């Protein structure tokens, strides 16, 4: 009996601490500085761990180069120059070298598949999952690692799960309550408060540290916000700082419940599965939303799938045909503290969330870019590329002309033919035919 009472006391204390230190500040939008202190301790520990690792290595370490660009040195000499370098008359011999080498480079690593596996770190962050060859290094380091595991799984994980539960529940309850009110400015204000609060709680549930830059460019009502996509939490990262109307497919389960609740309070745009296939219908609905200047800006991720945050892939042009003002946003995660990338072919959503919640923290930078409008002589594809370049440049990501759909599908024939035509044009120009 006493045991039950004691457990009850501990439980109550726990909830009180969580509410007081986390939920309440979230609602009021203030920060107690706990996250900052945590991050400071974390950074110091990881620096120490890295120094230990470097000391432990017998050989002197050669200067490191970032691996984001691959493991082989690509010879960027354009094909024309290369072929000119070989003096032989037989042109096709030169061509064969070029294509042989390109073929081998592609086999050793190709730009596309690289983007669908997590970015490699230059130093270890005490998570075994990022250390592919975990070697025993020193007792002290192992002890720190074990402490790290205990802290992450026994302390951080339950805390985060509690917070996430509180966040999601309050979102559902809050939006349902607000949804009962008649449409008015009070309702809109309350809906914003609820969304912001729950978003903040969820960000704390991930130990998220987000730096927002250029807040003066924040998306305005009646606009469209586009961002690069790395993980499902991108949406939470953005809604932490502003209110958006989400666009997406109706899901079942918990996600569906959240969707149904939130749409009552705030005009999110949820499509049925059958509706998504009809592009005109989708565009029409989004146009109507954007035309109403009192509605919140829509949030779209034009890549269509999660990329590993080292590059930006092709933007689907659909979002850029709607019209209106586009507010580009660049999101760059710092992989040092936790890898936010969701490799959906490798992990399902639950194991992904588990990984996120047992990482140290999610640290990211968000840049709001100045708004862009489609020029008169531009078509949707060119406009999409222009926006994509701006995002890639700001976030320090590379641009790839590839389609995110390549994660699962093969290269489109039209694209292949384009490449072949370029090569042939070059041959004819060289006058080496006939």
Partner 1 sequence: EGPQDSAPVTSLHSLAVTSEQIEHLHRRFKQLSQDQLTIRKENFDSIPDLEFNPIRGKIVHAFFDKRNLRQESDGLADEINFEDFLTIMSYFRPIEMNMDEEQLDRFRKEKLKFLFHMYDSDHDGKITLQEYRNVVEELLSGNPHLEKESARSIADGAMMEAASICVGQMGPDQVYEGITFEDFLKMWQGIDIETKMHVRFLNVDTIAHCY
| 428 part of the interface to partner 1, by CB under 8 A | yes
Give least dist CB 340 to partner 1, A.
19
Interstrand relation of 298-300 and 269-271 (parallel, antiparallel or unpaired): unpaired
| 84 part of the interface to partner 1, by CB under 8 A | no
Strands (E), 291-355: 298-300, 311-312, 326-334
Q: Please identify, using beta-carbon distances, which residue of 284 and 412 lies nearer to partner 1.
A: 412
**Best CA proximity match to 196, nearest among 331, 23, 369:** 23
Residues that bind partner 1 (rule: CB under 8 A) add up to a total of: 70
| 153 part of the interface to partner 1, by CB under 8 A | no
Q: Please identify, using beta-carbon distances, which residue of 28 and 72 lies nearer to partner 1.
A: 72
Cβ(231)–Cβ(299) under 8 Å? no
The CA distance from 47 to 143, in Å, is 16
Q: Please identify, using beta-carbon distances, which residue of 16 and 108 lies nearer to partner 1.
A: 108
Give least dist CB 428 to partner 1, A.
6
In the structure encoding, which two tokens stand for residue 74, read together? Answer: 């690509």
| 343 part of the interface to partner 1, by CB under 8 A | no
Please identify, among the stretches 7-15, 100-108, 260-268, 361-369, the one whose residues bind partner 1 according to the rule CB under 8 A: 100-108
In the structure encoding, which two tokens stand for residue 219, read together? Answer: 């998306």
Q: Which helix (H) or strand (E) holds 187?
A: helix 185-205
Q: How far is CA 138 from the centre of its chain?
A: 35
| 389 part of the interface to partner 1, by CB under 8 A | no
Supply the angle between the helices 34-56 and 139-150 in degrees, to the nearest 10.
Answer: 150
| 146 part of the interface to partner 1, by CB under 8 A | no
| 258 part of the interface to partner 1, by CB under 8 A | no
Please identify, among the stretches 126-134, 203-211, 243-251, 257-265, the one whose residues bind partner 1 according to the rule CB under 8 A: 126-134
| 278 part of the interface to partner 1, by CB under 8 A | no
| 81 part of the interface to partner 1, by CB under 8 A | no
Cβ(297)–Cβ(218) under 8 Å? no
Q: Is 309 left (phi over 0), alpha (psi -120 to 50) or beta?
A: left
Q: Please identify, using beta-carbon distances, which residue of 110 and 275 lies nearer to partner 1.
A: 110
Q: How many residues does the chain have?
A: 434
| 147 part of the interface to partner 1, by CB under 8 A | no
Q: Binding string, 20-59, against partner 1, x = CB under 8 A?
A: ---------------------------------xx-xxx-
How far apart, in Å, are the Cα atoms of 332 and each of 67, 176, 201, 210, 358? 17, 33, 21, 10, 20
| 345 part of the interface to partner 1, by CB under 8 A | no
Please identify, among the stretches 179-187, 212-220, 253-261, 410-418, the one whose residues bind partner 1 according to the rule CB under 8 A: 410-418
How far apart, in Å, are the Cα atoms of 282 and each of 261, 288, 289? 22, 10, 11
| 110 part of the interface to partner 1, by CB under 8 A | yes
Q: What is the DSSP string of 249-265?
A: E--SHHHHHHHHHHHHH
Give least dist CB 273 to partner 1, A.
28
Q: Under the rule (CB under 8 A), what is the footprint of partner 1?
A: 53-54, 56-58, 61-62, 64-65, 67, 70-73, 82, 86-93, 95-113, 117, 120-124, 131-133, 135, 137, 402, 406, 410-411, 416-417, 419-421, 423-425, 427-428, 432-434
């Amino acid at each position: 009996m006493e045991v039950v009472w004691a457990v009850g006391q501990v439980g109550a204390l726990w909830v009180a601490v969580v509410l007081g230190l986390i939920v309440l500040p979230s609602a009021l939008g203030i920060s107690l500085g706990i996250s900052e202190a945590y991050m400071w301790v974390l950074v110091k520990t990881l620096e120490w761990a890295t120094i230990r690792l470097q000391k432990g290595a017998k050989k002197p370490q050669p200067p490191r180069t970032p691996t984001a660009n691959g493991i082989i040195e690509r010879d960027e000499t354009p094909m024309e120059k290369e072929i000119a370098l070989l003096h032989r008359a037989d042109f096709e011999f030169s061509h064969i070298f070029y294509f042989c080498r390109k073929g081998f480079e592609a086999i050793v690593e190709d730009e596309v598949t690289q983007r669908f596996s997590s970015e490699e770190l230059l130093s270890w962050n005490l998570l075994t999952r990022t250390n592919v060859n975990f070697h025993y290094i020193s007792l002290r380091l192992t002890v720190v690692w074990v402490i790290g595991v205990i802290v992450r799984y026994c302390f951080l994980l339950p805390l985060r799960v509690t917070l996430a539960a509180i966040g999601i529940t309050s979102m559902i309850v809050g939006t349902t309550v607000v949804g009962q009110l008649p449409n008015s400015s009070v309702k809109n204000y309350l809906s914003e408060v609820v969304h912001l609060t729950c978003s903040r709680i969820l960000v704390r549930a991930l130990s998220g540290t987000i730096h927002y830059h250029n807040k003066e460019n924040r998306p305005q009502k009646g606009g469209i916000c586009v961002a690069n996509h790395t993980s499902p939490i991108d949406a939470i990262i953005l809604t932490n700082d502003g209110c958006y109307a989400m666009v997406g497919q109706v899901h079942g389960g918990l996600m569906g419940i959240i969707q149904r609740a939130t749409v009552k309070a705030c005009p999110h745009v949820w499509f049925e599965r059958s509706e998504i296939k009809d592009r005109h219908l989708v565009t029409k609905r989004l146009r109507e939303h954007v035309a109403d200047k009192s509605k919140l800006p829509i949030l779209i991720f034009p890549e269509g799938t999660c990329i590993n945050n080292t590059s930006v892939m092709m933007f689907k042009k659909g979002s850029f045909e709607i019209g209106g003002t586009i507010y580009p946003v660049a999101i760059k995660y710092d992989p040092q503290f936790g890898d936010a990338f969701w490799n959906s072919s490798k992990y399902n959503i639950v194991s992904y969330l588990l990984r996120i919640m047992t990482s140290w923290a999610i640290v990211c930078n968000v840049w709001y870019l100045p708004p862009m409008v489609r020029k008169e002589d531009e078509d949707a594809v060119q406009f999409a590329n222009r926006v994509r370049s701006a995002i890639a440049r700001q976030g320090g990501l590379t641009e790839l002309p590839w389609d995110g759909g390549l994660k699962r599908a093969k290269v489109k024939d039209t694209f292949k033919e384009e490449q072949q035509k370029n090569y042939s044009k070059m041959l004819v120009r060289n006058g080496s035919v006939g």
